[in-house]
A and B are shown apart, each in its own frame.
Chain A
Amino acid sequence: MLLIACPYCGERPEIEFAYGGEAHIARPADPSAMSDEEWAAFLYARTNPKGTHAERWRHTNGCGRFFNAVRDTVTDFFVATYKTGEPRPDLTPRSVV
C-alpha cells in the first residue's frame, strides 16, 4: 500500500485516497468551440508514460481535497505532491535508500 503525502494532512496510507487520473488536463473554457477531434482528445487522450507521471488524487477519507502528485510509474515512488492549481514541479525522481 502506497504512502501518500497529502499536501494538507501529511503522509497517509493509500486506503484513505482515491485515484483521479492524469493531472493538468484543464476543462476547456469553451467546449462548443472545439472540433470533435479536439474534444475527444480532451476526454480520452492520456499520456500513460513510463516514468514520472503527474496525476490527481483525492484525500477522500481525509481532508477531502483533490491534489496533484508526480509519481514514477516504474518504481511507484512519489516525486512530489502539490495542491491543485499549482504548476507541476520540475523534479527528477529521487533515488531510494
Chain B
Amino acid sequence: MVETALRRPPLAGLVPPPGDAVVLAPVPPAARFILRVRPAAQTAAGEAFGGPLPTIACRAATEGARAALWLGPDEWLLISPDAPDFTALAGVPHSLVDVGHRQAGITVSGPRAAAALNTGCPLDLDEAAFPVGMCTRTVVAKTQIVLWRTAPETFHVEAWRSFLPYVCGYLAEASREFSG
C-alpha cells in the first residue's frame, strides 16, 4: 500500500486570492487516467470505468464521483476516486495511462469566475456558448489547461503540475481587480 504521507501534491502551497468574487481552491485528490479507444469499444470501456464515456464533443459525463471528460474523438480524461478496473477490456485495443501525478485540478468559482478566466482564456464563457457540462482543452495565457464548467459559476481547471503555479498565479492576479 502506498504511503500517502509521502505524497506532495503540486497545489500544496496554493494561496487563494482575497475576496469572494473569484475563489480558487484545489479539487480533492483523485485518480486520473487518459483513456484512448476506438468507437467500437467505447461502450465496453464506459462499463469498465463505471460511468458512460460522452460521445458528444467537448462534454463531460459524471456518474457519482466518477467523471469522464471528452478531450478528443477517441480520448477521455477519467477522474475517479480510485483506479478503475479495466481487466474486462483485455484483448480490446486501447490505451489507459495513469496521469494522476501528471496533473491536478483547481476550481475557479464565484460570480466573476468567468471574467477572471477570460483574462487568459480566449473562449466565449457565456453560458449559452460554454454551458454547464462542457469541457475542453484550451489555454490560459501561455499554457494549456482542461476547462470544465461544473456549475454556472464554477469551473474545474486541470493543468500539468509544473504549469499549475503559473495558472494559479495568473488567475490570482486576474482576481485582484474583482476584490475591491
Contacts and interface: CB of A to CB of B under 8 A. Distances in A.
Interface of A: 8-10, 12-13, 15-16, 60-65
B72 interface: yes
Contacts of B75: 63-64
Contacts, number: 39
Contact of B138 (A8, A62, A64, A65): A62
Interface string B43-76: 0000000000000011000000000000111010
B80 interface: no
Nearest to B75: A64
Interface in B73-109: 73, 75
A64 B122 contact: no
A61 B57 CA distance: 14
Interface size class of B (residues with CB under 8 A): 10 to 19
Given A8-B57, A9-B58, A15-B122, A61 B71 contact: no
A18 B44 CA distance: 33
A61 B137 contact: yes
A69 to B, nearest CB: 17
Nearest to B58: A9
Where chain B touches its partner, the secondary structure class is: strand
A63 B139 contact: no
A63 B123 contact: no
Nearest to A63: B72
A62 B122 CA distance: 12
A15 B122 CA distance: 8
Contacts of B58: 9-10
A9 B136 contact: yes
B42 interface: no
B36 to A, nearest CB: 10
B73 A61 contact: no
B139 A8 contact: no
A86 to B, nearest CB: 14
Nearest to B73: A8
Given A8-B57, A61-B138, A63-B137, A13 B73 contact: no
A51 B41 CA distance: 42
B144 interface: yes
B2 to A, nearest CB: 31
Given A12-B123, A15-B122, A16-B122, A62 B137 contact: yes
